[in-house]
Amino acid sequence: MRQEVSPRAVLAARRQFFQQGLHDRPLAALLPEPILRSWKRCAERGLDNAALPRLEPLTAHELSAIAERHERLRRLCRPEVESLYADAMQTGCVVILTDAEGMILDALGNADFAARAAQVALRPGVLWGESSTGTNAVGTALVEGRPIAVHGGEHYYDPHAILSCSAAPILDPYGHTVGALDMSGPAAVDHRHALGLVRLAVEQIEHRFFDEGFSDRRVLRLQADRALLGTSREGVLVFEDDRLVAANRAGLGLVGADWSALGARRAGELLEQLPGSDGDTHALRQPGGRTLFGRFEGARPRPQPAPRPRAPREEGPLLAAEERAALGRAVRMVAADVPVLIRGETGTGKEMAAREIHRQSARAGGPFVAVNCAAIPETLIESELFGYEDGAFTGARRQGRRGLLREADGGILFLDEIGDMPLALQSRLLRVLQEREVAPLGGGRPVKIDVALLCATHRDLRLLVEAGSFRQDLYFRIAHYTVELPPLRRLPDRAGIVRALWGRLVADERLTLSEACEARLAAYDWPGNFRQLAGTLKALAALADPFRPVGEDMLPPDILAAPAASPPIGTLDALTVEAMRQAVEACGGNVSQAARRLGVNRSTLYRRLFHA
């Protein structure tokens, strides 16, 4: 429970801290401990509390890209954001959703206050992490790992004293912080209810994470109060072959466990008595004797009138037979403990290919931990990967953190954009791969891990090695087997791809594309590849009317401005034997790669070159 602090006490604390430089015990009587800890962290970073922080908002294009990257989070949070928005309109507040770094993704609420908040950059596309924006509810909640309210002068920066903010971090079913939800309003108004509303909304969001993706696993829903089963207050534990692989905070609390139990504890260790597989609610018993109520879901498949194929992932590449065969070989490499490197331009579906390898591999029951080496700030990536001990550095969580390498134990670690990993960190990663153990920051004991490694990049690592920005020994360690994902512009049947992806993304059969629109889409080069195409198709579906095919007039200007379709490069009449030979030479003798570049089948290229 937050201690109530009077404005006079906050002013006294600010005088002592900022003017007199008193950072010790007397301030604890004037401020909540999390606020005082945050002020100290900000002061150690050298932030000037009297200045307006220098923030650089994302461009519209950059904001669109990051919003698309977090589309699932935004979708899962949307009902709660809109529900809080109704309250925000009445109380002069704005509701804010951020990613795990504090980048504002969405902001809805009272228009008058939103205009005032924009003066201190409280708007989408601005990073409100504590290291850049000082003590604030979003940034401090993410650092502290718990709900935080920051009222008026408790903010580090003087100009932020107009705000009263309440935020809570959002955790996914694996204990990873994926974002934060915040409610901010004018400091002059009493918003003591806000933190409770935000905590309840986050509880509902974290409960909704289990609505998808766990249909093939045993999901245990439990509560001490039988009436709360089926509500967002219930605990949720997910088991794979009797091993705990996912949970929510309520579920872990009910069985006396924490996030370290994932992948390490079994059902019988958490509960003495388990429910049957009949789907009914049963009384359960903890090792300590406490009675709970729970039921299993997914333990026994129920008969269906007709099997329905699972919908493919929305933005994954539509792989040709050759790429599917390459993924099949990658699965065998994972089984043989051989690292796999996936290469392809941005948007070609490298992460989706990695997830498919995980799904087909013997490690499918273990975790899949994805790390974007280009998205995590260089100052944080080491602690994120290797974890840290309590007090390892300023801002470290109490009790430390396991780190993503240990989170991936028993499964697959996917290092996306590994070419952007800092050089100093590459040597630590190489040591982990060689010794199969992780030493957390702060002097903790090394811990043995069992991790299969998948890496991906859109860059040419060989050129980076020559330039001295990527370690040659690490390159040879991770690139034993390489999967090449071709860019969309090099695929021969782009019209078929457009139709197939439209079918994946648009469930309403009444919405269709006109032939002219489809031809324009097929003729475009798609520099953003499948990700850009999927985003364009989603936009067209939103504009479409039932039974009226989408016309060219609805296409974005850059596609309309592109040259009209030319004869496909894969047309055999357009390809001379000499052009084929040049393509093979340009690809270093790799016939498969040359065939993809020319847009023809590999067997056709062989036949024309060697049997002409």
pLDDT digits (tens, 9 = 90+) for 574-600: 445 666 776 776 666 676 667 766 666
* DSSP summary character for residue 123: S
Is-contact 571 582, C-beta < 8 A?
no
- Angstrom distance (rounded) from CA 477 to CA 430: 8
Q: Give yes or no for residue 543 having a pLDDT over 80.
A: yes
pLDDT digits (tens, 9 = 90+) for 466-506: 999 999 999 999 998 999 999 998 887 888 899 989 988 88
- Angstrom distance (rounded) from CA 565 to CA 556: 16
pLDDT of residue 612: 45
Query: 235 φ, ψ to 5°?
Result: -85, 150
Higher pLDDT, 427 or 354: 354
Average confidence (pLDDT) over 6-18:
87
Is-contact 403 388, C-beta < 8 A?
yes
Is-contact 551 517, C-beta < 8 A?
yes
Work out the percent of the chain whose per-residue pLDDT is above 90.
Answer: 36
Average confidence (pLDDT) over 427-446:
80
pLDDT of residue 67: 87
Whole-structure pTM value: 0.51
E strand intervals along 316-407: 340-343, 368-372
- Angstrom distance (rounded) from CA 110 to CA 89: 5
β-pairing, 452-457 vs 340-343, is parallel
Is-contact 406 452, C-beta < 8 A?
no
Q: Which single residue is written with the structure tokens 């650092």?
A: 143
Contacts of 52 (CB under 8 A, 6+ apart): 120, 157, 159
Average confidence (pLDDT) over 301-329:
56
pLDDT digits (tens, 9 = 90+) for 141-171: 999 999 999 999 999 999 899 889 999 999 9
pLDDT of residue 340: 95
Q: Which single residue is written with the structure tokens 């908040």?
A: 117
Q: Give yes or no for residue 328 having a pLDDT over 80.
A: yes
* DSSP summary character for residue 358: H
pLDDT digits (tens, 9 = 90+) for 194-250: 888 899 999 999 999 998 888 888 999 999 888 888 888 899 999 988 899 999 999
Average confidence (pLDDT) over 179-199:
87
β-pairing, 368-372 vs 243-247, is unpaired
pLDDT digits (tens, 9 = 90+) for 67-81: 888 999 999 998 888
* DSSP summary character for residue 480: S
Q: Give yes or no for residue 554 having a pLDDT over 60.
A: yes
In the chain, the domains with their CATH numbers are: 60-207 (3.30.450.40), 213-297 (3.30.450), 321-484 (3.40.50.300), 488-560 (1.10.8.60), 572-610 (1.10.10)
pLDDT of residue 108: 85
Tokens of 499: 């139709």
β-pairing, 148-151 vs 163-171, is antiparallel
* Exposure class string for 240-274: b at 16+ Cβ within 10 A, else e: beebbbbbbbbbbebbebebebbbebebeebbeeb
Q: Give yes or no for residue 62 having a pLDDT over 70.
A: yes
pLDDT of residue 571: 42
Average confidence (pLDDT) over 118-124:
74
Tokens of 451: 């991790």
CB atoms within 10 A of CB 214: 19
pLDDT digits (tens, 9 = 90+) for 357-415: 999 999 998 899 988 887 766 656 667 787 765 544 334 444 456 778 888 899 999 99
Average confidence (pLDDT) over 315-321:
59
Higher pLDDT, 528 or 445: 528
pLDDT of residue 391: 46
pLDDT of residue 139: 95
The overall average pLDDT reported for the chain is 82
β-pairing, 368-372 vs 412-416, is parallel
Burial of 212 (0-12, 13-18, 19+ CB in 10 A): exposed
